[in-house]
Amino acid sequence: MSVNLRTVYAFAREMYPKKVNENINYGTAGFRGEAKKLEYVMYRMGLLATLRSRIKNGQVIGVMITASHNPEPDNGVKLVDPMGEMLEPKWEKIATELVNVSDNELESKVASIIKELNIDIGTHCNVYVGMDNRYHSPILLKAVADGVIALKGNVKEFGIITTPMMHYFVVCANTKGSYGIPTEEGYYKKIIGAFESIRGNQLENGNYKNRLMFDGANGVGARKMIQFLKRMNGSLNCEIFNKGEGKINENCGADFVKVQQKVPNGMPEGIEANVRCVSVDGDADRVVYFFTDSNGKFQLLDGDRIATLVANYLMSLVKKCGLKLKMGLVQTAYANGASTDYIVNELKVPVSCVSTGVKHLHHKALEYDIGIYFEANGHGTVVFSDEAKEMIKSISELSQNPEQKNAANNFIDVINLINETVGDAISDMLLVETILHSKGWDVREWFDTYTDLPNKLLKIKVQDRNVIVTADAERICVKPEGLQDEIDKITSNYKRGRSFVRPSGTEDVVRVYAEAATKSDVDQLAYEVSQVVYKMAGGTGAEPTPPETIYNSHI
């Protein structure tokens, strides 16, 4: 098969010209920004996905069009590597270079990538493309598909799907079906089958009641949850709201609930105290729980809470199976200090801290037989080594101990319930429901396992976020010189005080995180650290606001 690289330029010139001058970078979330500026980016990512598939001997590469928890006018694109992982760092750099060259340089840039990496441009290749339900996603999907076609690649369009579904499809295709069937029906069948196998006919147990309120963030998660419920045999009593009547993520969804610490808009009236409520984000890869207690107070159960619940449950399965497996939990600096203390001192599970971004957590989790990772924002999953799976399977097939055998069978169902390829809001939610059901817990019992330290997250606008340089998984600021010393001095004045700063990955702001023993202390700590950051990092605009009017902002 011959490929005429002149086609690359022709498509760009006629259909997807680059109309913006500013450079953009492929970050943790790929490329993301205003949708109206992204058509040329999408076209070029179609080109890149085709080259990536060819260098991977024709394995499927995924392209997901989504802006996740961003507002509805935004969109974005990220590539999925053959085993469901994020694009490797070397290719992130190539993606950035490819997007930032001019239209006139595009053909020669593609040619240089082919030459430098010794890509056989005539070989077979496969690209899967999916999108969330933003109104501009179809136009952007066509641009990706045209990029694949320009290099004579094979493209399969899945239409509107969640980000975790795309990761799942890619892994299924590249493992020849051993992980599952790479179709939407295959995805539902695997997860629902595992969930209902564990739950059985007893839908309620102890204090666990079969009732759940589901905030779909007006995104694709709401659509897919409707499809889940249609295929379930009444095994989950779930009421969905924010199904698409409003704008994606506007005053609703996982990010809103986590950051604003309040009930999302669209919540039905009259929900009684202690009813489990769950929010996902726009592309359904984040999930947080919440409830209103008997005093009318909002209570949040975020990714840290999910991680501790899952770790506790999986530890019990390991013990029942009589296995010796290396289990570890991976967090970021944003994890609440109380959760880390609970995991280390109560659960006796080792904790690793890595830089913000799922790719960092996922990579570290792979070092364990059972690696659990969740960001505080609710993005996470569990990964199992092949050796661990074989050991569990062996007990299931060979053990003569009925209790041990039953635990192993249960463990296999749990593994099938979990989408190991990436954080999956719906899969994670069904895992939480499974664990609470098995324990006979209501949401209050889960919440009472430990008490979160009060915390605050702020952002400071700066002229250049790159003046902030961090180390030790972003917990230490090494530049500007002297800033970390000032932060240390301030935090030493507060009981259980902790604070760190890090540059945003997408905009010229510095994130300031703080936690302390009391709410008033954390308000003051966050304010004082923000003041120092503003002065030493070149803050712009209004200075940090005193504690009386401090408000949370986005991670």
Domains of the chain, each with CATH number or no CATH? 6-160 (3.40.120.10), 186-300 (3.40.120), 303-447 (3.40.120.10), 455-549 (3.30.310.50)
What are the residues whose beta carbons fall under 8 Å from the beta carbon of 461, sequence distance 6 or more? 508, 509, 539, 540, 541
**What pLDDT, in 10s, does the model give residues 148-177?**
999 999 999 999 999 999 999 999 999 998
User: Per-residue pLDDT averaged across 36-43, rounded?
Assistant: 96
Q: Which residues pair with 215 in a beta bridge?
A: 241, 279
Q: What is the average pLDDT value for the chain, to the nearest integer?
A: 94
Q: Which residues pair with 124 in a beta bridge?
A: none
pLDDT tier for residue 358 given thresholds of 50, 70 and 90: confident
154-160 and 126-131 strand pairing: parallel
Whole-angstrom CA distances from 20 to 17, 34, 38, 144, 483 are 9, 12, 9, 18, 36
C-alpha neighbours within 13 Å on the C-beta side of residue 279: 36
The rounded distance, in Å, linking the Cα atoms of 163 and 428 is: 14
The rounded distance, in Å, linking the Cα atoms of 346 and 482 is: 36
E strands present in 132-219: 154-160, 212-215
The pLDDT of residue 2 is above 80? no
**What pLDDT, in 10s, does the model give residues 378-428?**
999 999 999 999 999 999 999 999 999 999 999 999 999 999 998 999 999
Catalytic residue among 2, 53, 68, 385: 68
- Whole-number CA gyration radius for the chain: 24
Q: Of 34, 7, 156, 21, give the one whose Cα is nearest residue 99.
A: 21
Instruction: Note the Cα 8 to chain centre separation in Å.
Output: 33
Q: Name the DSSP class of 262.
A: S
Q: Of 281, 315, 277, give the one whose Cα is nearest residue 299.
A: 277
> Scanning the structure block, which residue is given the tokens 């002065």?
535
212-215 and 370-374 strand pairing: unpaired
Q: Read off the tokens for 530.
A: 């923000």
The rounded distance, in Å, linking the Cα atoms of 392 and 412 is: 7
Whole-angstrom CA distances from 271 to 150, 209, 426 are 53, 14, 22
Tell me: cis bond preceding 268? Omega within 30 of 0 counts. Answer: no
Q: Of 254, 283, 70, 74, give the one whose Cα is nearest residue 162.
A: 283
Q: Is 168 exposed, middle or buried (0-12, 13-18, 19+ CB in 10 A)?
A: buried
The answer for 215, left when phi > 0, alpha when psi is -120 to 50, beta otherwise, is: beta
C-alpha neighbours within 13 Å on the C-beta side of residue 461: 5
Q: Read off the tokens for 27.
A: 């970050």
In the chain, pLDDT over 90 holds for what percent of residues? 87
The rounded distance, in Å, linking the Cα atoms of 55 and 62 is: 14
Compute the Cα dihedral for 334, 338, 344, 348 and give only its sign.
Answer: negative
pLDDT, residue 459, reads: 87
What are the residues whose beta carbons fall under 8 Å from the beta carbon of 386, sequence distance 6 or more? none
Is 68 a residue of the active site? Answer: yes
pLDDT, residue 551, reads: 42
pLDDT, residue 548, reads: 62
pLDDT, residue 552, reads: 42
Q: Are 335 and 355 in contact (CB under 8 A)?
A: no
The pLDDT of residue 142 is above 50? yes
**What pLDDT, in 10s, does the model give residues 299-312?**
999 999 999 999 99
pLDDT, residue 539, reads: 87
Question: Could you tell me the pTM of the whole model?
Answer: 0.93
Q: Are 439 and 505 in contact (CB under 8 A)?
A: no
Q: Read off the tokens for 438.
A: 């098995």
- Residue by residue, DSSP assigns 472-518 as TTTTEEEESTTHHHHHHHHHTTSTT-EEEEEE-SSSSEEEEEEE-SS
The pLDDT of residue 550 is above 70? no
What are the residues whose beta carbons fall under 8 Å from the beta carbon of 302, sequence distance 6 or more? 258, 288, 289, 376, 377, 378
C-alpha neighbours within 13 Å on the C-beta side of residue 482: 4
> Scanning the structure block, which residue is given the tokens 């800033």?
483
Q: Of 244, 284, 283, 287, give the one whose Cα is nearest residue 266.
A: 244
pLDDT tier for residue 506 given thresholds of 50, 70 and 90: low
Q: Name the DSSP class of 36.
A: G
What are the residues whose beta carbons fall under 8 Å from the beta carbon of 295, sequence distance 6 or more? none
Q: Are 362 and 375 in contact (CB under 8 A)?
A: no
> Scanning the structure block, which residue is given the tokens 């996603």?
137
Q: Are 181 and 93 in contact (CB under 8 A)?
A: no
User: Per-residue pLDDT averaged across 465-474, rounded?
Assistant: 93
**What pLDDT, in 10s, does the model give residues 262-296?**
999 999 998 999 999 999 999 999 999 999 999 99
